[in-house]
Chain A
Amino acid sequence: MKKKTKHLESAWGIVPVSIFLTIWEIVGRLNLFPGQFLFPPFSAVIKEFYHLTANGVLGKNFLSSLTRVLIGLFSGSVAGITAGVIMGWRDTVNKALNPIISMLYPVPALGWLPLLMLWIGINEMLPITIIFICSFFPVVYNTVTGIKNVDIKYIRAAETLGASQMRILFRVIMPLALPNVFTGLKLEAGMAWRVLVAAEMIAIPTGIGALIMKAESLVRVDIILVCLIVLSVMCLVFEKAFSLIERHFVGRWSNSVRY
């Protein structure tokens, strides 16, 4: 019965989307704008999506963007978690690094772009570094918070049971800090795509962002819309993927993880 209700709820979610797409299609076909190319109907966008997929243009650019996101996000998260764990675990390290992190965290990731263009040059490393920075700081911040928030009672319990400091760190503190770590990761999973596209639009000749810029110069609104839909879907997919990973690791024992 519950399952049926859930399916019905999902079905209801499709209704507004369908209405939106129908209105889009009608407005596009009514030629309200001077020239249909400025506001193509949804069907034309789908047609262009098929065309771009078939000739490999979308796939090639998407793959470039995806590779950058995966490398940047992975390295930024690993570095962020490592730094966060050390800072959270050792108070002296935290006291030394916290002022620097606090100073750099508020700088918008794209704010680094001009500086990095001069330092790194315009190459593959540029978008990867931007995504690295975009992921690193929030993950560090959330990991430190997670570790600091672990209740002392669990550490005391582990101590009385004879656990070594390393065992306490890896078997008690880090698992209990995971919900906070995932908060940082989920935050950055979608953000990485947003930052990447901005970097590609400004400086890099390949990728979804670059494809948007090329389409803009050719006044190909249909291609721009195809790229925006791909981006939107990827942001959602990445956020959902991290939610699923979180559910796998945390959902079984944490009351706070609900889907």
Chain B
Amino acid sequence: MSDIELVNVNKYICRDINLKIEDKELFVIVGTTGAGKTTMLNVMAGVTDYNGSVLINGVNVDSIAPGKRGVGYLFQDLALFPHLTVESNIAFGLRAKGYEKTEIDKSVSSLMEMMRIGKLARRYPHMLSGGEKKRVALARSLAPSPAILLLDEPTSSLDHKTAKYLRSELNSLLKNMGITTVCVTHDLREAEEIADRIALISNGEIEQVSSPTELFFSPFNRVVSEFIGMPNIIECRESRVLASGLMEVMSDDLRIVLPYDGNNIRKIAIWPDDIYISDVKPPGPALNRFKGRVEEIAQYNSSVRVRVSIGKTILLAELPVTAFDEISLEQGKQVHVVIKLRRLRYVEA
């Protein structure tokens, strides 16, 4: 059993952080750059001084050295030792803890096999690709069998495909190992994919701690809502299966067809950039299209937010400035609204 708790922690931008991560939980801290995410991990690992307390399994570890807290740490810039081979990097922690050579060899080779980096054993870090480096660093932090694993932006600086692949691997690996994990990311989609619970942090303060679904459908405040992209939440009154994998959901004013293979949907989230507005009738089938009225227009640097009413329902749409300039919109004007569900998030009944 391994849980970790921060009590009234203060360090740099982080103010009065109170947070408890449960045993075997995959907990994700999400926030913008400079919000204090890495600082929180550094405090948990004990690689920086801080005010407040860190408890692991209820025991205060403030005066315990980082290497003795039972915490593995995947640093954002990985910090692979450039003068050591992949093999020696992974074995570093085991050697430091005085394991027998045979035990070290066995453990290193099984980790390399698990991370599928066996062929890289004799290479130095500068000879590896970004994805390979991440795997080696992950294997190194897992080698001393930590009870808690800290991951700082585990898929940053990887291309989209590699990041997605690594993320799904990481997810199943951590679930199988049953290791308590605290992951930091600025990527909300990554958080959503892997998290049991998410903490949203902004300017050193925790704004919300909840499950991913709660975060999207019940944001505590405007900061959270802005961060998750201000989705429009539609309460569904009724739903029916149209065909296999396709469902029509009905709210008071909208009938929306979406890909869904379950029984019933209670709520759906529609992101503002998935709503298109046109002053002329767009071509194509009349699916997920509505007539609405412009209620409010707000201009920002690179985008324009438009509130449109469809019956009593108000939807927030976000258009790029270039797209906005091509259509003439003004308050009170009748427009065509098209919903294209690129991202789909729902609450099942």
Instruction: List chain A positions with a Cβ less than 8 A from chain B.
Output: 151, 153-154, 156-164, 167, 171-172, 175-176, 178, 250, 252-255
Contact = CB atoms under 8 A, between A and B. Distances in A.
Interface string B76-104: 01010111100000001100110000000
B292 interface: no
A164 B47 contact: no
B67 A163 contact: yes
A157 B126 CA distance: 17
A161 B149 CA distance: 12
Contact of A253 (B66, B72, B79, B83): B83
Given A153-B77, A160-B47, A254 B93 contact: no
14 contacts: A156-B45, A156-B73, A156-B79, A158-B92, A160-B47, A160-B72, A161-B92, A161-B96, A161-B140, A162-B97, A163-B92, A250-B83, A253-B126, A255-B126
Contacts, number: 69
A253 to B, nearest CB: 4
Nearest to A252: B124
Interface in B47-82: 47, 65-68, 71-73, 75, 77, 79, 81-82
Q: Which 5 A-B pairs have the closest CB atoms?
A: A162-B67, A161-B93, A157-B79, A163-B96, A153-B79
B144 interface: yes
Given A163-B67, A253-B124, A157 B96 contact: no
A157 B124 contact: no
A153 B81 contact: no
Given A164-B96, A167-B96, A159 B47 contact: yes
A162 B93 contact: yes
Contacts of A250: 83
Contacts of A172: 81
A156 B73 CA distance: 10
A161 B75 contact: no
A154 B92 contact: no
A160 to B, nearest CB: 4
Interface string B109-137: 00000000000000011100000000000
Interface of B: 45, 47, 65-68, 71-73, 75, 77, 79, 81-84, 92-93, 96-97, 124-126, 140-141, 143-144
A219 to B, nearest CB: 55
A249 to B, nearest CB: 9
A162 to B, nearest CB: 3
From A154, A156, A157, name the one whose CB has the most chain B CB atoms within 10 angstroms: A157
A141 to B, nearest CB: 22
A255 B124 CA distance: 11
A175 B72 CA distance: 24
B82 A161 contact: no
Contacts of A175: 83
A157 B65 CA distance: 12
Nearest to A162: B67
Given A159-B65, A161-B67, A162-B96, A254 B47 contact: no
A151 B77 CA distance: 11
A151 B83 CA distance: 13
B71 to A, nearest CB: 7
Nearest to B143: A161
Contacts of B67: 159-163
Given A153-B77, A160-B141, A161-B67, 19 more contacts: A156-B45, A156-B79, A157-B79, A158-B92, A158-B96, A159-B47, A160-B47, A160-B71, A160-B72, A161-B92, A161-B143, A162-B93, A163-B67, A164-B96, A172-B81, A178-B83, A252-B124, A253-B83, A254-B83
Contacts of B65: 159
Given A160-B66, A161-B144, A162-B68, A176 B82 contact: yes
Contacts of B97: 162
Contacts of B77: 153
Contacts of A252: 124
A171 to B, nearest CB: 8
A162 B67 CA distance: 4
Contacts of A163: 67, 92-93, 96
B68 A154 contact: no
Given A252-B124, A255-B126, A160 B73 contact: yes
A178 B97 CA distance: 25
B142 to A, nearest CB: 11
Contacts of B47: 156, 159-160
Contacts of A255: 126
A27 to B, nearest CB: 51
Nearest to A179: B83
B91 to A, nearest CB: 10
A153 B72 CA distance: 14
From A160, A164, A175, name the one whose CB has the most chain B CB atoms within 10 angstroms: A160
A171 B96 CA distance: 10
Contacts of A164: 96
Nearest to A255: B126
B148 to A, nearest CB: 11
Nearest to A163: B96
